[in-house]
Amino acid sequence: MAALPVLALLLLLAAWGGPGAAGQKRKEMVLSEKVNQLMEWASKRSVIRMNGDKFRRLVKAPPRNYSVIVMFTALQPHRQCVVCKQADEEYQILANSWRYSSAFTNKIFFAMVDFDEGSDVFQMLNMNSAPTFINFPAKGKPKRGDTYELQVRGFAAEQLARWVADRTDVNIRVIRPPNYAGPLMLGLLLAVIGGLVYLRGSNLDFLYNKTGWAFAALCFVLAMTSGQMWNHIRGPPYAHKNPHTGQVNYIHGSSQAQFVAETHIVLLFNGGVTLGMVLLHEAATSDMDVGKRKILCIAGIGLVVLFFSWLLSIFRSKYHGYPYSFLMS
């Protein structure tokens, strides 16, 4: 008789815990199906293309024990998003490096939502620019740091890998496809130099041409002062185009970043100022008649004033609050 209350208590506990256990089992089955589906797609394509339904079911909806890095982009030709194509190439390199590495697991997946295939996702997330990278963590909603600062860090695969490691603790070693452009260009340069030395072996005065060496040094200095090394390290986009308004920005609005087009513009302006200074020097030191020297002087002053004004206007646009301007704001 004493065993009856214990038996009744056990039956009561089993009945109370039954729905919860069933719910947990159903949750695990749903999670297993989602992971298996993602693994199947990842085995065929490193970057999983998603529309609105796939995004809501596999990324937004619980349960989820995996992180998903999603690139929101606009790759269709009529969108004319050059930056999107460049970012997509780097993103594919990153995803392939992860997919074919020995450390590949189902802990993280790489996905893509194109505007023309999932415009409802863009509206749901109040997103009005592309490309944009967001990490959807295994637990909870994305935080501020889960949105990649593209305009600050650029879209190079190595920079994306560092951000992924910071957000997910997954370290990806980026492996790029072999690029033979560098060795070929070096070989071509050596061949040209060797050919010149062979053809002009009896007259090597061109190697001592001060003007040629000065021009080469000037080109190198202009390239470095315009920010080419920063571009090489950070890999910024060439420009930024808003997929909705179509507006293209060639000058970055922050002093902490820049576009590739911006460095080309600055290089051109620096070159204009330099040319003006050279003309002024020639006007002061050459043996030409007075009339030609005056023309050189006026042209040099015009170039210096014009291009320096444009340089200063770019500086003002990046360093907001700078009080000084010259000829133009």
CATH number of the domain to which 104 belongs: 3.40.30.10
* 210-225 and 260-285 helices, crossing angle to 10°: 140
Residue 300 within a domain = yes
| Same domain for 82 and 132 | yes
Tell me the β-bridge partners of 216: none
Cis peptide before 63 (omega within 30 of 0): yes
| Same domain for 216 and 151 | no
| Same domain for 263 and 147 | no
Residue 104 within a domain = yes
- Mark which of 168, 197, 224 sits at the end of a domain: 168
Tell me the β-bridge partners of 72: 113, 132
| Same domain for 38 and 163 | yes
- Mark which of 168, 199, 234 sits at the end of a domain: 168
Residue 97 within a domain = yes
Structure confidence at residue 306 (pLDDT): 92
Residue 90 within a domain = yes
Identify the DSSP state of 51.
Answer: -
Structure confidence at residue 257 (pLDDT): 77
| Same domain for 223 and 164 | no
Tell me the β-bridge partners of 110: 47, 69
Q: Can you say whether residue 246 is alpha, beta or left, with left for phi > 0 and alpha for psi between -120 and 50 degrees?
A: left
Asked if residues 126 and 85 have their Cβ atoms less than 8 Å apart, the reply is no
Integer Cα distance of 82 and 95 in angstroms: 20
Integer Cα distance of 107 and 81 in angstroms: 31
| Same domain for 220 and 135 | no
| Same domain for 164 and 32 | yes
| Same domain for 162 and 296 | no
Tell me the β-bridge partners of 194: none
Residue 183 within a domain = no
Asked if residues 260 and 231 have their Cβ atoms less than 8 Å apart, the reply is yes
| Same domain for 228 and 144 | no
Q: Tokens for 156, please give them.
A: 């190079």
Number of domains, the chain: 2
| Same domain for 154 and 71 | yes
Residue 252 within a domain = yes
Asked if residues 318 and 252 have their Cβ atoms less than 8 Å apart, the reply is yes
Structure confidence at residue 13 (pLDDT): 47
Residue 270 within a domain = yes
| Same domain for 144 and 31 | yes
Structure confidence at residue 206 (pLDDT): 64
- 102 is in which domain, residue-wise? 25-168
| Same domain for 156 and 225 | no
Per-residue pLDDT of the chain (329 residues; tens, 9 = 90+): 455 565 555 554 454 455 566 667 787 888 889 999 999 999 889 999 999 999 999 998 888 899 999 999 999 888 888 888 888 999 999 999 999 888 898 999 999 999 999 889 999 998 888 899 999 998 888 998 899 988 778 888 999 999 999 999 899 999 887 766 668 888 888 888 778 777 766 666 766 778 878 888 888 888 888 888 877 777 777 887 765 666 788 888 777 778 888 889 999 999 999 999 999 998 888 888 888 889 999 999 999 999 999 988 888 888 877 777 777 76
Show the DSSP H helices in the chain as ranges.
3-44, 52-55, 82-99, 119-124, 150-153, 157-168, 181-199, 210-225, 228-234, 260-285, 290-318
Residue 128 within a domain = yes
Integer Cα distance of 301 and 281 in angstroms: 11
- Mark which of 110, 145, 168 sits at the end of a domain: 168
